[in-house]
Structure 1
Amino acid sequence: METSFVLFSQLNMCETKEKAFFKLIHGGLGKEAASKEAKTRAKEKRNRLSLLVQKLDSHEETHSSRFGALSKELRVSPEEAVKWGESFDKLLSHRDGLDAFTRFLKTEFSEENIEFWIACEDFKKNKEPQQITLKAKAIYEKFIQSDAPQEVNLDFHTKEVITKSITQPTLHSFDAAQSRVYQLMEQDSYTRFLKSDIYLELIEGRPRRPTNLRRRSRSFTYNEFQDVKSDVAIWL
């Protein structure tokens, strides 16, 4: 009986040692995995920082060349550009002014407004009934109907009137909607356009001095930069 007791005790001791060894091994692996994960995070943050610096350098280097390309393509004098600031009508009535304003709206992701306005202007030039019907339907599907790819911001009543008349459209079917979008651009977008770099560069006849860190990167924040500095030891 004594022999059996000793043997059983030895088995228990072996089992305890195995458990301790198992915890030690897995604990070490856990720390190693955590260390690798920390290094990976630090590497990603370092890459973001490097990318941000590259973008800032690239912005400063290409600013003048982009302005030169814009001026050459538009071929507009500062004197002519100044006239665009007199009224929204003068801006839209000038081919280069319309192009510059369209470029500005693209930076604000609201180019559907000017594209809708242009489409309406073109639509009113049609004379053939078949063309009026086809183009009215195309404008409706692109800009008016719910979930349209370039849906413009219109009130419910205006959209409802267009929806009911789209089966038998006239050259005035979009007049109310076009007027609404025009007012929106004139009172909102046009004001910001006159203060934008695109316009100010044209009236000054030269590129404005670029300012570093002017725009915040959506993928990199100041807090992340602090984290990068705190993890600098991991990189070494």
Structure 2
Amino acid sequence: HHKIQNAQHPIKSYKRSEETSKEAKIRAKEKRNRLSLLVQKPEFHEDTCSSRSGHLAKETRVSPEEAVKWGESFDKLLSHRDGLEAFTRFLKTEFSEENIEFWIACEDFKKSKGPQQIHLKAKAIYEKFIKTDAPKEVNLDFHTKEVITKSITQPTLHSFDAAQSRVYQLMEQDSYTRFLKSDIYLDLIEGRPQRPTNLRRRSRSFTCNEFQDVQSDAAIWL
């Protein structure tokens, strides 16, 4: 009897160790799965939700009350950073963002310090927005363009004043009126989430954010 017990003991031991081994494998597999989920979850969240959360941050940043003020005057719209951003998004849907980009560039140009910076920035603005067949040519009358062309070799801080004023009036009388009726603006004043806009791809253009903390490096224009 004693011998039989001893003979059975290794079998029980083997079965027990086999079960322990299976349980350990199952636990190890579960642990790997959990670790895999933990590793993947942030990546999934980052890939799919980061841009969404970025949009939400922008959406909730503007209160309907603030957006309503933009309808009081074109100047109030442009003087508010988020208003400028919303108006720029609207112009992009109409493919006429060069107007607001030129206006922003002129605002920055007037902050230029020193003759060298004035000369470099003036030349860059002329090349990008003013000259015939410029990549972002704005709609100016012949006389205004001619005055700028003649003075571009010796520009002053006021070289683009007339052109900027002209573009401002065009946007105020035309684009601003349509902006106030657009979904982009109506969604803001009614507190609705921003809708995705399908925009054409263009060569790199200035955005309003680039001019908030613009530095005195003329390379940004080139």
| Aligned: 1:157 with 2:143 | yes
Whether 2:156 is the aligned partner of 1:170: answer yes
Percent same amino acid at aligned positions? 88
Q: Shift in Å at residue 73 of structure 1? A: 1.4
Matches within 5 A, 1:6-45: none
CA contact (8 A) 2:188 2:194 kept: no
Tell me the distance in 2 between the aligned counterparts of 1:71 and 1:128.
Answer: 41
Instruction: Evaluate the alpha carbon distance shift between residue 208 and residue 149 of structure 1 in structure 2; reply closer, same or farther with a 3 A threshold.
Output: closer
Equivalent residue number for residue 84 of structure 1: 70
Report the Cα offset of residue 72 of structure 1: 2.4
Q: Which residue of 2 aligns with 1:126?
A: 112
- Measure the CA separation in 1 of the matches of 2:163 and 2:148: 8
Q: Aligned residues, how many?
A: 146
Counterpart of 1:116? 102
The aligned counterpart of 1:73 is 58
- Contact residue 129 and residue 135 of structure 2 kept, 8 A: yes
Does the CA-based 8 Å contact 2:110-2:158 persist in structure 1? Answer: yes
**Structure 1 residue aligned with 2:192, among 197, 206, 213?**
206
CA–CA separation in structure 2 for the residues paired with 1:165 and 1:92: 28
If the length of structure 1 is used for normalisation, what is the TM-score? 0.58
Aligned mates of 2:74, 2:137 — CA distance in 1:
23
Counterpart amino acid of 1:115?
E
Which residue of 91, 99, 105 maps to 2:85?
A: 99
Unaligned runs of 5+ in 2: 1-50, 196-222
Q: Which amino acid aligns with 1:73?
A: K
Provide the TM-score with structure 2 as the length reference: 0.62
Moved >3 Å (runs of 4+): 66-71
Q: CA RMSD in A?
A: 2.3
Instruction: Give the one of 179, 195, 218 matched to 1:193.
Output: 179
Any gaps of 5 or more consecutive residues in structure 1? Answer: 1-65, 210-236
CA distance in 2, matches of 1:172, 1:121: 11
